[in-house]
Amino acid sequence: MKAMSWRVGGRRTRTLVGRGLLGRPGLLARMLPGADRVAVVTDARCRRLFLPRLLRSLGRAPDLVHLLPRGERAKCGAELERLHRALLAGGFSRDSALVALGGGAVSDLCGFAAATFMRGVRWACAPTTLLAQIDAGLGGKTGVDLAGVKNAVGAFHQPEAVLCDPELLESLGPRELRAGHGELLKYALLFERRFPATSAVRPPRGAALERAVERCVRWKMSVVAQDERETRSRREVLNLGHTFGHGFEAAARGALRHGEAVLLGLRAAVRLSELEGLLPAPEARRLRGLLAALPCPRPRLRAAEVLRHMGADKKRRGGRLRFVLLRGPGRPVVAGARAANVARVLKEIL
């Protein structure tokens, strides 16, 4: 098991990575000392598959097990209010703690409830998908969607502890693993100058998967520790592939998983980097070839609709879209781009 710790915004946040750690008796209890009440926030599938292990780790019966609907439907104001009401009714206080057991939608909603209940209570996270173990469950971005805009309302609120157990990923289907792999490739493109150096271009399994999770946690948290609130372009680079990706995901209306949309978004970002004169053409061709070899659904999307959704991107400044682009693997830059080049990328990709 690897135990890692960072100071973010003056507070300590710890992440453990290791096979089988979710079931270790008392582990989570030791990471959340002194909580007067504990609520586990999860969905029906994760409750069935993983709750008994989490309870061993918690070392006590939770005061509340709160079920959310599966997937993105959990991330709305109505579900946030339902959780807040359950906490109030259950006598939860400022000294209580929440534990998210699930994928990114569960940790986003639970983290935001923790950020806002009684002006902020402690929380911990046990991510159950690859995407959540390497991205969504780390770094304290929490929130809900509003009016079709992803994460339109939210807060930065660091979990005190994150338990990443790669054994949980064995229950994921190939599509879900592939979706998480899109985020894994994002990190590799951002941090590996000799891409693909450590990261397999195919989704890793077994011990390689555990090493990949640990590597991504280190990469992500070292950035978050320097720029928690994305006020400098340091944390912004973690959005490589996401400006296009959010547009693809929203326009696909459920036909693309987040990580699949990010994979398409990485292809788009590489091509845009080339058109903007940042990435030399032979390197761009090589990277696009590697990314295009990965299977990904291709729903029919309209460029105008993708562009409309991209317009809601939070990186926008002064009405102008900003993109994370590459001068090469391991060399990201945050920049604007010519509208004609963005339109050309969409025409080629869709």
Which residue ranges make up the site for ligand GLY (CB under 6 A)? 135, 139, 141, 235, 238-239
Residue 139: CB minimum distance to ligand GLY, A: 4
Residue 223: CB minimum distance to ligand GLY, A: 8
Our CB check for ligand GLY shows the closer of 53 and 75 to be: 75
Report which of 136, 77, 147 is spatially closest to residue 102, judged by C-alpha positions. 136
Residue 100: CB minimum distance to ligand GLY, A: 15
d(CA 168, CA 155): 28
DSSP category for residue 212: H
Q: Are 97 and 38 a contacting pair, CB within 8 Å?
A: yes
d(CA 283, CA 42): 43
Our CB check for ligand GLY shows the closer of 139 and 203 to be: 139
Residue 66: CB minimum distance to ligand GLY, A: 24
Q: Is 108 left (phi over 0), alpha (psi -120 to 50) or beta?
A: alpha
d(CA 340, CA 331): 24
Residue 221: CB minimum distance to ligand GLY, A: 10
Our CB check for ligand GLY shows the closer of 19 and 141 to be: 141
Our CB check for ligand GLY shows the closer of 141 and 157 to be: 141
Our CB check for ligand GLY shows the closer of 139 and 259 to be: 139
Residue 229: CB minimum distance to ligand GLY, A: 10
Helices 258-275 and 339-349 cross at an angle (nearest 10°) of 130
Report which of 96, 98, 44, 51 is spatially closest to residue 74, judged by C-alpha positions. 44
DSSP string, 143-174: EEEETTEEEEEEEE---SEEEE-GGGGGGS-H
- Which residue number has the CB closest to ligand GLY? 238
Q: Are 36 and 165 a contacting pair, CB within 8 Å?
A: no
Structure tokens at 211: 């090493």
Our CB check for ligand GLY shows the closer of 258 and 309 to be: 258
Residue 335: CB minimum distance to ligand GLY, A: 18
Our CB check for ligand GLY shows the closer of 27 and 256 to be: 256
